[in-house]
């Protein structure tokens, strides 16, 4: 019977499959409800876990849980990248999992053994009545996180003294701390970074099988998580949540507001990191600073060829509500799209090598194909007042 109130753990994203090994890799979500677990004691297997299943028998080959007793909606957002690595001279068939927290976890995809050590580290504990949060959470030692984690005053936007002072006033409304700071009842709730959208989100990552470089898009959108008393008798507490903006319509934290990180998965080292898109450099509070690229404060869609990484920042949308379960945004695209561009970057260095303006914001995965000896990149665009279209761009 507990499945009615503590279940709803599912796979809302995509899976990966190693056909030769006969193993399917399932990235799973947070059990209900997302922000309070007093009714579901313990770690909550197999929530927020990567589960490897034998495709013939359906039996579990191995699993790993990324969040114990999840109360942050840090479910797994994308399928793991299956890569054939060479680590310290050893050939390893690997599965690399991106996360909303901005971590990358790398495993031997046959045995499930971590490629680099994963440490259980103490995290802040919940003080909510009835809640029993996990005393530790898993932290990978390699690679380094690709996104900022946790909240501190030092990370606030500081492009001008005025922006920093206004940002400090906004921050003072919330409880905050390091990664895995628990949801709260008082003030305006807990300020969560990365927020429930990531970090890394459902766009996942792309890799080059020849170089074993993984390209990971991420973004910083803080969310406020505030608990309140349940009213239906099912849960003692339920969470309310929403994105938190910064001063004068700018993001709350300093740039880059979004990033693309290139990681050599043979070594676990970052090769380069760049802002994803121009971002609000023409904002009235910033235009005199003559900033170059600070990143668009949204996720970016990517497509990779051997030499070029294509990046398209997602279109903007306004949130009109949440789903019936309360854990998914219901929104509508806005008519004004500040950055409907497709960017081309040198895959080796991250340098910008080209850009083309699109007729609208991108709202889905990029695709690439060759025809007649020419290569094309296709972007799905749309938005309020715009038709949903596929736009193909020829690559020179």
pLDDT at 9: 84
- Among the candidates 304, 327, 362, a domain finishes at 304
Q: d(Cα 109, Cα 11) in Å, to the nearest integer?
A: 19
pLDDT at 316: 67
User: In 265-349, at which residue ranges do the beta strands (DSSP E only) sit?
Assistant: 269-275, 300-304, 308-313, 317-322, 329-333, 341-346
Residues 118 and 226 in one domain: yes
Residues 240 and 311 in one domain: no
Name the percent of the chain lying above pLDDT 90: 85
pLDDT at 390: 96
Question: DSSP secondary-structure letter at 80?
Answer: P
Residues 284 and 311 in one domain: no
Residues 272 and 389 in one domain: no
Residues 96 and 230 in one domain: yes
Residues 284 and 325 in one domain: no
Residues 214 and 311 in one domain: no
Residues 122 and 239 in one domain: yes
pLDDT at 3: 66
CATH number, domain of 141, equals 2.140.10.10
pLDDT at residue 146 greater than cutoff 50: yes
Name the percent of the chain lying above pLDDT 70: 92
pLDDT bucket at 202, cuts 50 / 70 / 90: very high
Strand order in the sheet with 90-98: 81-87, 90-98, 104-108
pLDDT at 324: 40
Structure tokens at 54: 């034998």
Structural domain tally of the chain?
2
pLDDT in tens, 314-333: 876 544 444 443 444 444 44
How buried is 311 (Cβ within 10 angstroms: 0-12 exposed, 13-18 middle, 19+ buried)? Answer: buried
| Domain that includes residue 111, residue range | 3-304
pLDDT in tens, 223-271: 999 999 998 888 899 999 999 999 999 999 999 999 999 999 999 999 9
Q: d(Cα 130, Cα 187) in Å, to the nearest integer?
A: 20
Residues 166 and 142 in one domain: yes
- Among the candidates 304, 324, 340, a domain finishes at 304
pLDDT at residue 52 greater than cutoff 70: yes
pLDDT in tens, 14-31: 999 999 999 999 999 999
- Among the candidates 253, 270, 304, a domain finishes at 304
Residues 291 and 326 in one domain: no
Q: d(Cα 316, Cα 386) in Å, to the nearest integer?
A: 13
pLDDT at 39: 92
Report the Cα–Cα distance between both ends of the chain, in Å, rounded: 59
Q: d(Cα 206, Cα 191) in Å, to the nearest integer?
A: 30
Residues 313 and 296 in one domain: no
Residues 181 and 266 in one domain: yes
Summary mean pLDDT of the chain: 92
pLDDT bucket at 382, cuts 50 / 70 / 90: confident
pLDDT at 380: 95
């Amino acid at each position: 019977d507990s499945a009615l109130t503590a279940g709803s753990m599912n796979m809302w994203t995509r899976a990966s499959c190693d056909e030769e090994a006969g193993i399917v890799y399932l990235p799973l979500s947070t059990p209900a409800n997302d922000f309070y677990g007093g009714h579901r004691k313990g770690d909550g297997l197999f929530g927020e876990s990567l589960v490897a299943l034998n495709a013939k028998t359906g039996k579990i080959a191995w699993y790993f849980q990324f969040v114990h007793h999840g109360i942050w909606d840090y479910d797994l957002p994308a399928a793991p990248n299956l890569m054939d690595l060479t680590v310290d001279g050893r050939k390893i068939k690997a599965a690399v999992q991106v996360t909303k927290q901005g971590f990358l976890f790398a495993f031997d995809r046959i045995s499930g053994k971590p490629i680099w050590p994963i440490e259980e580290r103490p995290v802040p504990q919940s003080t909510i009545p009835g809640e029993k949060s996990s005393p530790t959470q898993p932290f990978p030692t390699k690679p380094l996180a690709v996104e900022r984690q946790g909240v501190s005053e030092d990370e606030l936007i500081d492009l001008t003294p005025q922006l920093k002072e206004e940002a400090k006033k906004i921050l003072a409304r919330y409880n905050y701390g390091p990664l895995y700071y628990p949801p709260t009842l008082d003030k305006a709730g807990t300020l969560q970074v990365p927020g429930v959208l990531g970090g890394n989100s459902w766009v996942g990552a792309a890799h080059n099988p020849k170089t074993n470089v993984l390209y990971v898009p991420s973004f910083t959108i803080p969310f406020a998580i505030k608990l309140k008393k349940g009213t239906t008798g099912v849960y003692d507490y339920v969470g309310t949540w929403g994105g938190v903006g910064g001063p004068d319509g700018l993001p709350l934290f300093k740039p880059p507001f979004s990033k693309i990180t290139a990681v050599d998965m043979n070594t676990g080292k970052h090769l380069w990191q760049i802002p994803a898109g121009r971002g609000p450099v023409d904002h009235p509070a910033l235009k005199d600073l003559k900033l170059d690229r600070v990143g668009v404060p949204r996720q970016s869609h990517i497509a990779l060829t051997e030499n070029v990484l294509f990046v398209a920042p997602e279109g903007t949308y306004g949130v009109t509500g949440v789903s019936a379960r309360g854990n998914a945004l219901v929104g509508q695209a806005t008519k004004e799209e500040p950055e409907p561009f497709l960017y081309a970057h040198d895959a080796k260095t991250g340098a910008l090598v080209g850009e083309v303006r699109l007729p609208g914001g991108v709202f889905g995965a990029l695709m690439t194909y060759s025809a007649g000896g020419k290569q094309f990149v296709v972007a799905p665009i749309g938005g309020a007042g715009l038709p949903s279209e596929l736009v193909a761009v020829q690559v020179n």
